[in-house]
Amino acid sequence: MSDHDGRRFDLVLFGATGFTGQRAARRLAAVRPDGLRVALAGRREGPLRELADELGMETVIADVGDPEAVEAMARSTRVLLSTAGPFAIHGDPVVDACAAAATHYADLTGEVPWMRCVIERHHGAATRSGALLVPASGFDSAPADLAVYLAAAHARSRGLELTSGRTVYRLRGGLNGGTLASVLHIFESATPRELADPFALIPGRASTAEERRLQRDPQWPEFDGVGGRWVVPFFMGPINRRVVQRSLHLRAERGDPAALGEGFRYDEFQSVSSGRGWLAARLTTLTLGAGQALLSTAPGRALFRRFGPSPGEGPSQRVLSGGLTRAATQFTLSDGGRLEVRQDMGGDPGNAATVRILVETGLALTERAVVPGEGGVLTPTTALGDELVRRLRATGEHSLDVVEG
């Protein structure tokens, strides 16, 4: 954005005193361009001012329970980033205010039911106003979105189509309290039918029973012939698959060449660290299934609340320093060939990679003008595409390599 159009800030980070918010604030302080006007926002004035003074930033005091303060915050800036979850509890006033003020917005949510509500409320109006509203701009769900985006572009350049894609993650890291709170709220408020809908982020899309069967989330381990080991369904896969489906839908609406074969399917799995065998994969899958079963009950959620991290808490520095986030996405092509997108995101997935992606998304949005007719509730690649790829590569901490064969 080239002019200031009367707004006090270029970018405001809301939720800056939380565990993830503090990491995002420090990242912004380290990488923001000279002259970019950045402020930290939240409801706890003392800790907020202490952090802002340390980082040389201004502050905005806003509480989601004070609509006037939230609206003033949205009007004061060109771009608003939010790390204040669970978003189904704390997100509505913020995204509503950004939509009304034509302020670009991005967050870290993986809460599919909430994202659907945001789409239903704001996509039409945001499209007309030019506001770019970009949920799921962290580890949920940018890596998946980027992999399909890059592979489709490569296939299109060769006059081919993608017929399927499958990501296998290798991860090591810890859980923070904000993420746990979001997961607990999803299982508390959403119905099984809502969670199982493969097209949940495409409101109004009618699907046949056959489509739903073909797009059903993976349930069991599979053998990864490329990696030579058994892999298990990735617990965040249902979220990422729905964001990918939304990207494909939005591109089709725009008339963009899809480079996708009929019936294209995208899946996600995770490596089993305890071994290469079927038994280890089976036991891991059963353990994950038991965890989901617990989350589906009130007593089970109470156990997670009691023994898991509270909001504002997160992994130790030792865990963060030893984190690992890698993804290899194998695609099949319409000529029978193969294509792989490799991502090495460095560090803990939910506390390092996700912060880097959100910050680069926010910085990219500061360069985007508000153009009436070109906004909407978008995905990372439908909002920013090549610019986000370029920025992540330029960090030197997030590789995005396309390899044939």
- Quick one: tokens of 94? 């913020």
What are the start-end ranges of the H helices in 268-405? Answer: 278-295, 298-307, 317-321, 354-365, 380-394
**Residues 213 and 285 grouped into a single domain:** yes
Distance (Å, whole) CA 94 – CA 65: 10
**Stretch (H or E) spanning 343:** strand 338-344
**Residues 81 and 45 grouped into a single domain:** yes
**Residues 182 and 224 grouped into a single domain:** yes
pLDDT of residue 371: 95
Distance (Å, whole) CA 290 – CA 54: 44
Quick check: is 2 in a domain? no
pLDDT of residue 69: 97
Quick check: is 32 in a domain? yes
**Residues 96 and 226 grouped into a single domain:** no
**Residues 116 and 252 grouped into a single domain:** no
**Residues 200 and 339 grouped into a single domain:** yes
Number of compact structural domains in the chain: 2
- Quick one: tokens of 18? 């939380």
- Quick one: tokens of 351? 């506390």
Structure pTM? 0.93
CATH code for the domain in which residue 129 is found: 3.40.50.720
- Ordered DSSP codes for 39-92: EEEES-HHHHHHHHHHHT-EEEE--TT-HHHHHHHHHTEEEEEE----HHHHTH
pLDDT of residue 276: 60
DSSP state, 352?
A: I
pLDDT of residue 193: 73
**Residues 317 and 365 grouped into a single domain:** no
Quick check: is 51 in a domain? yes
Quick check: is 21 in a domain? yes
- Quick one: tokens of 305? 């609340």
Give the domain extent around 75.
9-139+354-391
**Residues 238 and 323 grouped into a single domain:** yes
Quick check: is 127 in a domain? yes
Per-position pLDDT tens, the chain of length 405: 434 568 999 999 999 999 999 999 999 999 999 999 999 999 999 999 999 999 999 999 999 999 999 999 999 999 999 999 899 999 999 999 999 999 999 999 999 999 999 999 999 999 999 999 999 999 999 999 999 999 999 999 999 999 999 999 999 888 888 788 878 877 877 777 777 889 999 999 877 888 888 888 998 898 887 778 889 999 999 999 999 999 999 999 988 877 787 789 999 999 886 556 778 888 888 888 888 888 888 888 888 888 888 877 888 888 877 889 999 999 999 999 999 999 999 889 988 999 999 999 999 999 999 999 999 999 999 999 999 999 999 999 999 999 987
Altogether, the residues listed in the chain come to a count of 405
Burial of 26 (0-12, 13-18, 19+ CB in 10 A): middle
Cα pseudo-dihedral 208, 211, 212, 216, rounded to 10: 180
**Residues 148 and 50 grouped into a single domain:** no
Quick check: is 4 in a domain? no
Quick check: is 3 in a domain? no
**Residues 71 and 175 grouped into a single domain:** no
Quick check: is 186 in a domain? yes
**Residues 130 and 153 grouped into a single domain:** no
**Residues 330 and 382 grouped into a single domain:** no
